[in-house]
């Protein structure tokens, strides 16, 4: 894949940040998506890319925004990061359908493989569990209910309000 | 709910705890007293019958010979437990009330975590069930630490950790558990304070405690998975968590035996104090 292919792709693509809960914690940013109950932690570079995507921002606009603070970030890093952010649902793509190149997916797939090793961008994501799953679970013989499930993964089931062994 | 309403109630109470209004109604005053003894923390009686959650306990009107009594606990309109053992019904009430408060309190953040205090250091040990939290907490108490909580740690909006004095739920044979009061382990209640260190850990037989520091952003992500109210009020929860750990070190490691882990942590904290 050539540099010009990547540049063309950045120029064509348009991105918007999704409306998420945002909190800056030192050099990192924590994002929370209420629709998917997913939390993400972006390192400094990732956060700068994400925040640059204000309204119909193109990949080249992002490159310009990062030019002075992050001269080391390459075009392929930006493209791979944008793709990762799209997959995680923290960005939306607003590129017109005619402008999306046929080879885009293949290009990004290759980038993902090569850039993953050296990428200065880091994003961690977790699914935040519902209330009952974030609290204690029932052990063998304990009472259980819709609000207090039996502990998963050890062959227990809630039968008539009590956690009993259901075997594997 | 109407069916439950028609049962005929002899006594009841309405109280406020952690910013939530809760009601209990029973058919026997003695049962009410036992339930009241399980209400956590500081709570106050209310005059109004309007509540956010209502518990109803149905007990037999007459105890007959050769007939086992049955205790049925309802939370609003849903049945929570139906048991012949009174203590079991009380445990079920306590467990549901804890979760209800933890998931809905507008003023206090609950974290699924054990917490102890060693000298001036408040130690938070978040984690899912069966990760060895309670055994670690018990070992810290054996070593002389004071006690915040075994299962639910509470943090106010300014980020201060406070005691939530429930008995420890210690696992015994056959994977069942028994309640142990912290006093029985020689532990005192800890005084409120800022969190010094957060330990994300899990018991693995062959492992040893070899912690790496993780960033506060990563720490908040992991803590979010242990906060029952995280989905309900995410912005507030993230703010409070940031406040709570802003001066804390966040460490993560698998661990082996609890004795060596506790020794390592306490030595580290003592050295940190001297430095």
Place of tokens 């925040």: A51
- The closest CB to that of B99, out of A40, A147, A161, belongs to A147
Contact state of A145 with B81 under an 8 Å Cβ cutoff: yes
Q: How far is A44 from chain B (nearest CA, A)?
A: 11
Separation CA B247–CA A108 (nearest Å):
40
Asked whether B127 and B201 are in contact (CB, 8 A), the reply is: yes
Do A135 and B99 make contact, defined as CB atoms within 8 angstroms? yes
Residues of chain A found within 8 Å of residue B83, distances taken between Cβ atoms: 143, 161
Q: Is A141 on the interface with B (CB under 8 A)?
A: yes
Which chain A residues are Cβ-neighbours of B70 within 8 angstroms?
Answer: none
- Rounded-to-integer distance, Cα A162 and Cα A79, Å: 52
User: Looking at residue B175, what DSSP letter applies?
Assistant: G
Residue A113: partners with Cβ closer than 8 Å, 6 or more residues away: none
Average pLDDT, chain B: 90
Distance (Å, rounded) from C-alpha A60 to C-alpha A73? Answer: 12
pLDDT tens digits along A97-108: 555 555 555 666
Q: pLDDT, tens digit, for every residue of A48-71? A: 999 988 877 888 888 888 888 888
Span A119-131, pLDDT tens digits: 678 899 999 988 8
**Cβ-defined contact of B129 to A23 (cutoff 8 Å):** no
Q: Does B172 touch chain A (CB under 8 A)?
A: no
Local confidence band at B205 (pLDDT 50, 70, 90 cut-offs) = confident
The residue with greater pLDDT, A155 or A67, is A67
Least confident segment among B28-37, B172-181, B250-259:
B172-181
| B272 CB within 8 Å of a chain A CB | no
pLDDT top residue among B122 and A77: B122
pTM score, two decimals? Answer: 0.86
- Tokens 């467990």 locate to B95
Q: Tell me if chain A has a CB within 8 Å of the CB of B225.
A: yes
Strands B212-213, B152-156: parallel, antiparallel or unpaired by DSSP?
A: unpaired
């Amino acid at each position: 894949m050539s540099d010009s292919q990547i540049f063309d792709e950045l120029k064509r693509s348009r991105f918007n940040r999704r409306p998420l809960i945002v909190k800056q914690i030192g050099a990192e940013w924590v994002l929370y998506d209420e629709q998917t109950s997913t939390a993400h932690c972006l390192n400094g570079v990732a956060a700068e890319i994400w925040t640059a995507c204000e309204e119909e921002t193109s990949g080249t606009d992002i490159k310009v925004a990062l030019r002075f603070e992050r001269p080391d970030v390459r075009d392929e890093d930006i493209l791979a990061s944008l793709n990762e952010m799209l997959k995680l649902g923290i960005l939306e793509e607003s590129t017109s359908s005619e402008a999306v190149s046929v080879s885009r997916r293949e290009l990004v797939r290759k980038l993902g493989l090569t850039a993953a090793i050296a990428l200065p961008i880091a994003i961690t994501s977790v699914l935040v569990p519902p209330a009952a799953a974030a609290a204690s679970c029932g052990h063998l013989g304990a009472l259980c209910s819709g609000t207090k499930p039996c502990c998963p993964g050890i062959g227990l089931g809630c039968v008539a309000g009590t956690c009993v062994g259901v075997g594997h | 709910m109407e069916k439950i309403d028609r049962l005929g109630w002899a006594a009841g109470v309405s109280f406020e705890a952690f910013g939530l209004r809760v009601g209990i109604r029973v058919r026997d005053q003695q049962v009410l007293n036992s339930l009241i003894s399980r209400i956590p923390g500081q709570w106050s009686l209310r005059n109004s019958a309007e509540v956010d959650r209502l518990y109803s306990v149905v007990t037999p009107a007459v105890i007959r010979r050769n007939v086992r009594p049955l205790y049925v606990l309802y939370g609003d309109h849903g049945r929570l437990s139906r048991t012949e053992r009174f203590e079991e019904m009380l445990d079920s009430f306590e467990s549901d009330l804890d979760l209800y408060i933890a998931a809905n309190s507008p003023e206090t953040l609950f974290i699924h975590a054990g917490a102890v205090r060693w000298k001036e250091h408040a130690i938070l040990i978040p984690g899912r069930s069966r990760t060895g939290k309670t055994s670690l907490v018990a070992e810290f108490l054996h070593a002389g630490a004071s006690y915040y909580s075994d299962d639910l740690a509470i943090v106010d909006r300014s980020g201060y950790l406070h005691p939530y004095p429930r008995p420890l739920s210690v696992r015994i044979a056959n994977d069942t558990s028994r309640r142990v009061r912290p006093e029985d382990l020689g532990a005192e209640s800890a005084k409120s304070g800022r969190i010094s260190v957060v330990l994300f850990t899990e018991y693995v037989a062959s492992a040893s405690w070899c912690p790496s520091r993780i960033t506060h952003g990563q720490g908040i992500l992991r803590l979010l998975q242990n906060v029952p109210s995280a989905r309900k009020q995410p912005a507030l929860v993230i703010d409070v968590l940031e406040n709570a750990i802003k001066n804390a070190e966040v460490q993560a490691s698998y661990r082996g035996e609890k004795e060596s882990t506790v020794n390592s942590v306490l030595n580290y904290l003592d050295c940190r104090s001297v430095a």
